[in-house]
Amino acid sequence: MVGVVETLAILAAGFWAGMINVVVGSGTLVTFPTLLLFGYPPLVANVSNNIGLVGGGISGTVGYRHELSGRRRELRGMLPAALLGGITGALLLLILPDDAFRTIVPVLIAVGLCMVVWGPALQRRATRGRDATADSGRLATLTRPRLATVIAGIYLLGIYGGYFGAAQGVLIVGLLSLLTSEGIQSITGLKNLLTTAVNAIAAVTFLLVSPGSVDWTVVALIAVGATVGGVVGARFGRRLPPLLMRALIVVVGVAAIVRMLIFG
């Protein structure tokens, strides 16, 4: 009976994580504590969870493929940065104790939420007085210094994502909201691709460097749940208005901070 409950709980956690990752982010804050609750060691839980969530990221990214069309120029810089960051973070997870890094996770999430909330206002202020037809805040037309800043930020968040990953999506949405004038749906599409890339390259790194840290039963359960959840999340999330999308991001982000501060 315990085995059945555990299986169903991990499947359900994977489904919810896959769905919420596509729409908002922070799915790890559903699956990771669930695995700890059933007694899995933190490293095994973190690594297995990361690998399992790749399926949900792929299905969610496919669901947002329309928002990614015509993005080759931007992704030529952002995708390699995310991949390199994911490798760096995964190696740090396997080499360093995670206590020190996890203490700043609530701060990072809070910063991301601030960027999500005040990003649109800062965008309007930055573009005030600028020719409305120039559209110079779009990723495709960003100045080189600002695009370099975006790419550097994606790399740093890739490190965080490869290391732990909770609310990585919130932080990427916050970064792009602050530094670009992209719409929230376009940003969500980019976020899904970048976080999936980070999870995938981190998963490959874990398998090559520390295969003993992987529990394949957990991986399979989370992968099944997250892949289905990603499909549902993509269909649901693409219909949400921008204000509601940002509100959901804030709610989930605050819940993530509270959970981490209370439960560690």
Residues 108-159 have pLDDT tens digits of 788 888 877 876 776 566 555 444 444 446 776 678 888 899 999 999 999 9
Residues 36-47 have pLDDT tens digits of 888 898 899 999
What DSSP assignment string belongs to the chain? -HHHHHHHHHHHHHHHHHHHHHHTS-THHHHHHHHHHTT--HHHHHHHHHHHTHHHHHHHHHHTHHHHTT-HHHHHHHHHHHHHHHHHHHHHHHHS-SHHHHTTHHHHHHHHHHHHHHHHHHHHHHHTTS-TTT-TTSGGG--HHHHHHHHHHHHHHHHHHHHT-TTHHHHHHHHHHHH----HHHHHHHHHHHHHHHHHHHHHHHHHH-GGG--HHHHHHHHHHHHHHHHHHHHHHTTS-HHHHHHHHHHHHHHHHHHHHHH-
Q: Is the pLDDT of residue 25 over 60?
A: yes
Q: How far is CA 20 from CA 16, 78, 237, 251, in A?
A: 6, 23, 9, 12
Confidence of residue 207 (pLDDT cuts 50, 70, 90): very high
Q: Which of 22-31, 100-109, 130-139 has the lowest mean pLDDT?
A: 130-139
Pick from 116, 178, 170, 111: nearest CA to 150: 178
Task: State the pTM of this model.
Answer: 0.83
Residues 189-203 have pLDDT tens digits of 999 999 999 999 999
Residues 174-186 have pLDDT tens digits of 898 888 888 888 8
Average pLDDT over residues 72-84: 91
Q: For the chain, which residues make up each domain, given as ranges?
A: 2-263
